[in-house]
Amino acid sequence: MSQTHPSRTAVFSQVDVSAAGVPSESIDSDYVQTDLLREMLAAQDRTNEILEELVSVMSSQQRQRKQELHRWKNANPQLSKSCHDAAESLGRVQQEYLETLTDEINDSADHMVDGEYFLNEFVDRFGPRLAHLNGMIQVLSHLGNNATTLHGES
């Protein structure tokens, strides 16, 4: 019943914890590790402070932009409503355009894979228009966002 396992003796060995039993190299090593950990903690604290400052600056800029946009919308309620309506109309145009674009891709996918000319022609034909359309929709949506809410409050 009282079998001793040789592996236990290797794992659980005696450790002398008296002051005389601790070599000075171990003490120096512990201080170095402790100092390094303190320096790492201080660096991490500084990084956190910088990140908090960055978030604060970015959020204040975002709040300022939001206030300016809100003032513009209140000063130009009809234009804001027109932007909202235009964004919806351009959204429908974009949907039709995307249907045309996907049909073109499906019809000529093999040609675009085989020849660089067809791919370049496709990108030149659809790319700039799609990019500009997306940009206009984004601007109009941003300016017309909550236009109906602003109209309802007035």
Backbone angles phi, psi at 3, to 5 degrees: -85, 135
Instruction: Per residue of the chain (154 residues), give pLDDT as tens.
Output: 455 555 555 555 555 555 555 555 666 788 888 999 999 999 999 999 999 999 999 999 999 999 999 999 999 999 999 999 999 999 999 999 999 999 999 998 888 888 888 888 889 999 999 999 999 999 999 998 865 444 444 3
pLDDT at 151: 43
pLDDT at 13: 57
The DSSP call for residue 94 is H
User: CA 52 to CA 22: how far, in whole Å?
Assistant: 44
Residue indicated by tokens 């946009």:
69
CB within 8 Å of 129: residues ≥ 6 apart: 97
pLDDT at 145: 84
Question: pLDDT tens-digit profile of 28-48?
Answer: 788 888 999 999 999 999 999
Using alpha carbons, select from 94, 80, 95 the residue that is nearest to residue 140.
80
Using alpha carbons, select from 60, 57, 85, 80 the residue that is nearest to residue 70.
80
| pTM value surpassing 0.85 | no
Q: Are 146 and 81 in contact (CB under 8 A)?
A: no
pLDDT at 111: 85
User: CA 141 to CA 154: how far, in whole Å?
Assistant: 20
pLDDT at 113: 86
